[in-house]
Structure 1
């Protein structure tokens, strides 16, 4: 069943996560619970209910949206920032999810009805430790005062604060309303939806490791378009191009998708052993078709934290919830598991585009690019990550081509995303006509990384698979980097990877089309 995407008016996101809280709609006005609570100019007037904007009035929310339309988010640099730092002299405002990702200090006291935030510079801990804010005594850093403060006091609950605060505590503690909210927002036709449909609407937390070439860009755009996905971050690694170009390309993709608030982390610049290789002949030397982009974001938006450290931190902050999607040489993942051997046990799943099942190579005689670019890393990952593992291998992607007619329609959509993809994709179309790639790619459109991403986004995407222990050959003259699939049991490994054989191609077409809408 198709589900209409509904956006929060305050943060312009549709996903319901632990950060945003649930969505609620009243009179065609939709907003997240936490976006409402932490908006500086909003106060709850009524007892919270799951189906009436949690007690906030439609009129007040629309006024707050208008106020926010003039305020730039300090994180993503787009307007609509209604959650301001509580320090009066501070001018920093955010979309609430951006504030969380920007490490703002969130102060929540349901008893007092207090929901405020402090930017990293003005955190309460900083004020207490230093006794000052911006070089002034902390006593001068008064909390932000709303124009409704006289009406509301310091609480989000202006009328009968004791009763309303108690009502909110009970409401927030009882999560049974979540299903009712979801059914109202997405207008389900039946209360007896299948298990797969229910799971598809639940928020999925993804962490993506990429070497952003053309198919990486397509895969990331697919994930960003999925209403049930929360993309926690993107880690960059060498591969299709240099890691510096990868960072630039990721930012370009996020910019065209209006998602620059998603953190980007720079990772390994070379493999564990040996020399670096690239795929400039296929993706362009810059990784995105060598198409000029004078408005590309600067590398100053890349996080200071390294990719491996960020990967470990994000997974540990969300144990059992994160699916790691690896679209590149596996160097970052190998380094991460060596730094934190417990990391795989905390993953929900690992989705890899890489390897081969029939000894067909696209980089060497028997080697697929991502594994051949760092065979040692691939070996470590396939042997040390004992979590549920799903592989979209090279031959599978070649067997799962989309017709070029689909590609024409896909790129012809009248959107900025489609125009961006059409510009960068020209090089790829020309490269696929080369003699070396004619056999595998000329007969159709293959977006290798998008298959792994689609599997991570939708549990029902894979329709047929094999399960075997896998490893990687490290020493052969012609076979170094080749994936080994043990169909007999010689490796004596208990862990088996899910190797994709067939997928729902109609669903894949829909997901790809949605990526450029």
Structure 2
């Protein structure tokens, strides 16, 4: 039986790569892609998602309009890394029209899909978690109907990439991240910022992967030129906790959702999000001493099989 996915994105370059990995996986069925504010404003995230689906000849997959701003936080984007448009500022004059976006809103779509496929749907969340927080407010039973939740976000060693102690997806909507980590009691797997840094891809592999001579590889090369140039800069490399290479953050969560055996080291721990700290707002807190007495533990991914991961990326651009 095919794995059924809902993918929640704020489509920047790494989301695009993650979507392409899912589309290339033979045993995966994408039931819907929900879009959120995040790397880029919501309208861009919708356009970018359609662009990715078009290059993969999969415009049949429904795309839904989600939340355009955080629950309480001030809106912020990551244009300096992903480009103002979210996909490297290389516009496509023949981009699909936003008319293709479904009339049903993202949160309603998530709930409906889970109701139609109880216990069968894995939700892969790679954006600020606003859509997920609103979904559980509207339908408190929604998380119980999911098979699992895989998310890219948060941090495990208090190293930030947006604030001193905060990773972008969590900092962009800390209240939503708090709600999700508190109320989603389905099996939860977290690909954190530092983990993705430590499992970054060698530049030589990236060059090889992008030189495959296919339309998909040409598309990925075009949209990732800006972020790869940025990632090679000395300033950016200081942020990379270990290893020098390209960090395709969101794709790690997607790869683990598609094939759980890719995870070679993990730990289970209760987690929450700091909402009040002057320097730590949006930081993920790991409760190793079980002070919070939380029954639900998240699986924190520590290491993945990089060879398997690389093969998934290569296959996605064939």
Q: Provide TM-score, normalisation by structure 2.
A: 0.98
1:45-64 alignment to 2 at 5 Å? none
The alpha carbon displacement at 1:430 in A equals 1.5
Please list the CA deviations of residues 298-335 of structure 1 after superposition, one character each: whole Å capped at 9, or x if unmatched: 10000011001101111111000000000000000000
Secondary structure of residue in 1 paired with 2:150: strand
**Higher relative contact order, chain-length normalized (CA < 8 Å, sep 6+):** 2
2: CA distance, partners of 1:253 / 1:440: 28
2:79–2:86 Cα contact (<8 Å) kept:
yes
Shift of 1:487: 0.4
Equivalent residue number for residue 285 of structure 2: 484
1:305 corresponds to 2:104: yes
Structure 1 residue ranges (4+ consecutive) displaced by more than 4 angstroms after TM superposition: none
> What residue in structure 2 maps to residue 235 of structure 1?
34
Following superposition, the deviation at residue 435 of structure 1 comes to 4.1
Structure 2 CA distance for aligned equivalents of residues 278 and 235 of structure 1: 18
CA drift at 1:438: 1.6
CA distance in 1, matches of 2:283, 2:255: 24
Greater alpha carbon shift after TM alignment, 438-447 vs 345-354? 438-447
**Distance of 1:483 and 1:250 partners within structure 2:** 28
Q: 1:336 aligns with which of 115, 131, 135?
A: 135
Greater Rg over alpha carbons, structure: 1
- Return the TM-score normalized by structure 1: 0.61
Partners of 1:340 and 1:291 lie apart in 2 by 39
1:371 aligns with 2:177: no
Q: Which residue of 2 aligns with 1:325?
A: 124
Unpaired runs of 5+ residues, structure 2, are: none
Aligned-residue Cα RMSD (Å) equals 0.9
1:512 alignment counterpart: 313
Which residue of structure 1 lines up, in the alignment, with residue 22 of structure 2? 223
Asked if 1 retains the 8 angstrom alpha-carbon contact of 2:161 and 2:239, the reply is no
Moved more, 327-336 or 421-430: 421-430
Q: Which residue among 238, 242, 247 is the counterpart of 1:446?
A: 247
3-state SS of 1:468 partner: strand
**1:354 aligned partner:** 153
Q: 1:381: which partner in 2?
A: 180
- Tell me how many residue pairs correspond in the alignment: 316
Q: Does 1:456 align with 2:253?
A: no
SS class of match (1:334): helix
Deviations 1:30-52 (A, max 9, x none): xxxxxxxxxxxxxxxxxxxxxxx
2:214 aligns with 415
Please, which runs of 5 or more residues in structure 1 have no aligned partner? 1-201
